[in-house]
Amino acid sequence: MEAQSDQIRAAAELLCGRRNVVALTGAGISVESGIPAFRGSQGMWSKYDPMEYASIEAFMADPEKVWRMLGEMMRVVGEAGPNPAHDGLAELEGRGILRAVITQNVDGLHHAAGSRNVVEYHGNLRELLCVSCWKRYPAGDARYAEPVPRCDCGHVLKPGIVLFGEPIPWGAQGEAEAHAKECSVLLVIGTSAQVYPACEIPHMAKEWGAGIVEINTEETPLTGPVTDIFLRGGAVETVSRLLEEVLSIEAQQA
């Protein structure tokens, strides 16, 4: 069952009343853009088990195998565009309600939607980097073609994303923690809250006093103990309803 109108209203009042909102997004926000999430058996993840393919150990052991999955992921992401949920967050930022988006996604769709303050917690697919000398290359450069792109120094290039077993980039970790501690509302959208350490962010925000609004088609480990308002539904429809309600509250206040 979809979120009730009074729940949407309560969430919109929280956002408008406190402002200083930060969003934490996961793969679920991009599902309606055509990029399958990890959890759930659809699409490319039924072919490629992420735990088998998306770890740094798997990559170092057999980069060609992992690049087969990455190549497909880059093609899927390359064909996708932002949806109204990404657009809605950009609009909330433009209106001074949302301060930042922390995203676990590597698809670049928040930037494409016009969000300015985006923390890419797990990196992005725009760049490739050398596993030996850390030289960076734009991913679109055809020179670094399949089966395995290589650096000028001869070593293998990896995508600029955080694979399982790799640390979160220092800058992104620090920014995400600062946002979690300073925000008044954390809007958690489309994450299973099972990937560590990203799943710590809602707990940290809660401890530092933020209200937690969660949007997901299913309940998650956050839903009972951490979430204050759970809005069940797809990201596109739910963010659109929330934005509409925010705009109507703002119009009444003007």
Catalytic residue set? 122
Give CA–CA dist 96/105, Å, rounded.
Answer: 23
**Residue 28 engages ligand NAD in binding (rule: CB under 6 A):** yes
Residue 4 interface partner, choices Zn ion, ligand NAD, none, CB cut-off 5-8 Å depending on type: none
Give CA–CA dist 100/90, Å, rounded.
Answer: 9
Helices (H), 116-234: 170-182, 200-207
Give CA–CA dist 127/135, Å, rounded.
Answer: 10
Q: CB 189 → ligand NAD: shortest distance, Å?
A: 6
Q: CB 36 → ligand NAD: shortest distance, Å?
A: 6
Residue 47 interface partner, choices Zn ion, ligand NAD, none, CB cut-off 5-8 Å depending on type: none
- CA atoms 73, 102, 202, 58: torsion sign: positive
Query: Of 27-35, 61-69, 131-139, 204-212, which part binds ligand NAD (CB under 6 A)?
Result: 27-35
Question: CA angle 45-51-57, nearest 5°?
Answer: 130
Residue 133 interface partner, choices Zn ion, ligand NAD, none, CB cut-off 5-8 Å depending on type: Zn ion
Q: How far apart are the first and last CA of the chain?
A: 34
Residue nearest to ligand NAD (CB): 28
Q: CB 139 → Zn ion: shortest distance, Å?
A: 16
Q: Which of 5, 132, 194, 248 binds ligand NAD (CB under 6 A)?
A: 194
**Residue 42 burial (10 A CB sphere; 0-12, 13-18, 19+):** exposed
**Residue 24 engages ligand NAD in binding (rule: CB under 6 A):** no
All residues at 6 or more sequence positions from 10 whose CB lies less than 8 Å from its CB, including other chains: 229
**Residue 105 engages ligand NAD in binding (rule: CB under 6 A):** yes
Residue 130 interface partner, choices ligand NAD, Zn ion, none, CB cut-off 5-8 Å depending on type: Zn ion
State which residue, 115 or 220, has the beta carbon closest to ligand NAD: 220
All residues at 6 or more sequence positions from 177 whose CB lies less than 8 Å from its CB, including other chains: 201, 204
Would you tell me which residues interact with ligand NAD (CB under 6 A)? 26-28, 30-32, 35, 37-39, 104-107, 122, 190-192, 194-195, 216-218, 220, 234-235
